[in-house]
Amino acid sequence: MTHEHWSNYWQSGMQTSLPQDFKHNYDGEIAKFWHENIESLPDGARILDLCTGNGAVALLIAGIAEQLNKQLIITAVDISQINIDFIRKNNPSSQTEMIRFISGQSAETIDQCIKQPQDLVVSQFGIEYSDLNLTAAALANIIKPQGRLIFIAHSVDSAVFKYMSNEELIYQWLQRVGLLPLFHRFVTDDIDEEGLVRDINKIIAENQPEASFQGQPLFISWLQLIGQIRQSSVAQIKSQKEAIIYFVNQHHAARKRQQDMLHVVKKISDDKWLQPILDYGFESIESKELNYKNQHHIGTAYSFLKN
């Protein structure tokens, strides 16, 4: 399994995995949750942020440490390519210098990379993507006795999954009517500009989108691209080809990330999906639902103690 579609996302300059709600970093209930779990740590505690993305939670923890005047040893790892330049440019140096970032490291083999026993391992919208049987075994090797594993995971009824499910219906329609294959042919030079316009017009004339697609950001972005192409000359389309290729490739990567997320729905729909953590000597301490500004369900927080 490759992870270029996630590296693509982080390299594009995103700090969080939910940019619609959290453009800079997680705030509100999520920030409060992490503050509550960091304030009891002693000076010198070691913290591992697993599946860190672009370091959002690690940066939150570093900021909390600053507020509490604590010295913490923070490591942040992700299997994709972390955009460290972006992180350093957009966050205080006092926080970024507190964190050691490691790219290309899977959760399942984290014990091969982290040798120092950890007081706390955290994760947010990440650990559920891994093979939890392997990840739990690796974490059991690196978390201290009486250390903690705390993470926020997606929930089946969270707003993000409803949003992604709606977007997948749009992608399926674009595939079914032939627009996605057509643009792929254009990107790979299997069809020229005249053929692109001709086939777009034919597809539009023969197909009507679902009424529920109207107003959806994903659908609007495709309508805008298609409308622009239909109104452009061959010469103009040629000059725009690089931008069209970028658009198509970005959406291809976005759909792969979306399919990863929808696959996670199936995993966490199983009531026993957390059983591997218990099997490797962790005791469940707490689980609770988190909401964003009391508007929509954003995920479930879990706390475990290593026996």
pLDDT score at 2: 55
Q: Domain map of the chain by residue range?
A: 4-156+269-306, 159-262
pLDDT digits (tens, 9 = 90+) for 208-228: 999 999 999 999 999 999 999
Average pLDDT, the chain: 92
Distance CA 188, CA 57 (A): 39
pLDDT digits (tens, 9 = 90+) for 177-202: 999 999 999 999 999 999 999 999 99
Task: Please give the class, per CATH, of domain 4-156+269-306.
Answer: alpha beta
Q: What is the pTM of this model?
A: 0.86
